[in-house]
Amino acid sequence: MAAPVYLFTGPEFGERNDQVASVKAALKKKYGEIDEFLLYASDERIIDIVSQLRMESLFVPAKCIVLRQAETIKKKDDLELLSEWIKSVENASDTSVLILVSDEISVDPKLDKLIPKEHKKVFWEMFEDRKEEWLRNYFRKNGFSISPDACGTILDMIENNTESLRSECGRFFLCFPKDHVITSADVEQILAHNREETAFTLFDAMTENSSSPSKRFENSLLILQKILMTKNSASGGAVMLIAGLTSCFRKLCVWIQLHSAGNYPDEITLKSNGFASKKARAQYSRASRVWSYGQVASIIALLAQTDMEIRSTGMTLQTTQLYLLLYEIIMKNGASCTKYEAD
């Protein structure tokens, strides 16, 4: 029997989260009740996680730990600890389950080798034709129809993964009676004026190279303010925002590398690296004209530095730190500054 450890990676958050839920549901069906934990690899020590996995509960027969940001697990000692635990539970009961999750396509090769082949899956971004089909089916299952133009408008406006699509499209079911045919006008009415801002919509505004840096900075600040006013901003929202931006800029590194030295990657190469949609390709093409590879590397370092500062100082200065971060990314192209400069 394979060890009770799983690795789910990739940008299709909706299907990936469904798979995580499926593993937990099977565990609950088998044991009746389980302890559930959601942890982040950047916040926790692997030695503490392994200790928690080894510890038996007196009251609950099984436990499941979902560990996000698995791509950050690279230290030799951490990998050895995980390897020892996995070997110890091979052919054992699945009363302690570890699910490693990453927004990236892959994790450290040494970590990847530890996971049973049948417990690994990459959740690729859906192809364009599949997204439209998914949307039509989603509306139909909920008693609605949607026009082709409305499908296209939604896919242009929303981050193209099923988690975001479910969240945003659920608004239509509260605003219209069943059997209503959703049109482009309905989409503009419901989504354009009530769109939830995220790290991905912020990144999109930051890459709008048709605007001046000052205008991009202004628009990005407005989006950041909306994000900070949401209920999640008081419970690690800034850290999650930085994690989302870091994922975007790491993906931009991949895009620039694929197109270096005048290369034109083929369709298969683009899709296998997470650039399946026309929207993503247009977005990262724009971004590559804003920042060079070296500047993106500096931006990723700035993001990591700001993340550490916010974790150490708490919420007291997080707004100022995030404003400064956007200024350094947009106005300084990744260069840090010691004082604010009026441009």
Tell me: the pLDDT tens digits for 24-37?
999 999 998 999 99
pLDDT of residue 192: 67
**Amino acid identity at 233:** S
**Amino acid identity at 68:** R
pLDDT for 95 beyond 50: yes
Q: Which two tokens stand for residue 173?
A: 């079911």
CB-based contact 193:226 (threshold 8 Å): no
Do 278 and 242 share a structural domain? yes
Q: Which of 85, 103, 122 is the last residue of a domain?
A: 122
List the beta bridge partners of residue 100: 7, 67
pLDDT of residue 222: 92
**Amino acid identity at 22:** S
This model's pTM is above 0.75: no
Q: Which of 192, 207, 231 is the last residue of a domain?
A: 192
d(CA 177, CA 218): 39
Q: Report, as an integer, the average pLDDT of 26-53.
A: 93
> Residue 206 falls within a domain, yes or no?
yes
> Residue 341 falls within a domain, yes or no?
no
Do 323 and 207 share a structural domain? yes
Do 274 and 179 share a structural domain? no
> Residue 335 falls within a domain, yes or no?
no
Confidence of residue 73 (pLDDT cuts 50, 70, 90): very high
Do 224 and 286 share a structural domain? yes
Do 320 and 225 share a structural domain? yes
The gap from C-alpha 334 to its chain's centroid, in whole angstroms, comes to: 22
d(CA 142, CA 71): 36
- Work out how many domains the chain is built from and give that number: 3
Tell me the pLDDT tens digit for each residue of 208-235.
988 899 999 999 999 999 888 874 555 4
Do 73 and 34 share a structural domain? yes
List the beta bridge partners of residue 8: 101, 121
> Residue 343 falls within a domain, yes or no?
no
Do 145 and 107 share a structural domain? no
163 vs 333: which has the higher pLDDT: 333
pLDDT for 163 beyond 80: yes
Q: What is the CATH number of the domain that holds 46?
A: 3.40.50.300
Helices (H) and strands (E) in the chain, counts: 16, 7
Confidence of residue 316 (pLDDT cuts 50, 70, 90): confident
Which residue segment(s) compose the domain that 47 sits in? 5-122
> Residue 340 falls within a domain, yes or no?
no
> Residue 338 falls within a domain, yes or no?
no
DSSP class of residue 74? -
Do 205 and 163 share a structural domain? no
87 vs 230: which has the higher pLDDT: 87
Do 178 and 111 share a structural domain? no
Q: What is the CATH number of the domain that holds 304?
A: 1.20.272
Share of the chain above pLDDT 90, in %: 56
φ, ψ of residue 30 in degrees (nearest 5): -75, -40
pLDDT of residue 263: 85
Do 159 and 279 share a structural domain? no
Q: Which two tokens stand for residue 247?
A: 């994922």
Q: Which of 122, 137, 165 is the last residue of a domain?
A: 122
Do 136 and 55 share a structural domain? no
> Residue 288 falls within a domain, yes or no?
yes
From residue 16, alpha-carbon distances to 218, 250, 271, 272 in Å are: 34, 20, 17, 16
Q: What is the CATH number of the domain that holds 138?
A: 1.10.8.60
DSSP class of residue 92? S
> Residue 342 falls within a domain, yes or no?
no
Do 244 and 144 share a structural domain? no
Q: Which two tokens stand for residue 79?
A: 């990998």
pLDDT for 337 beyond 80: no
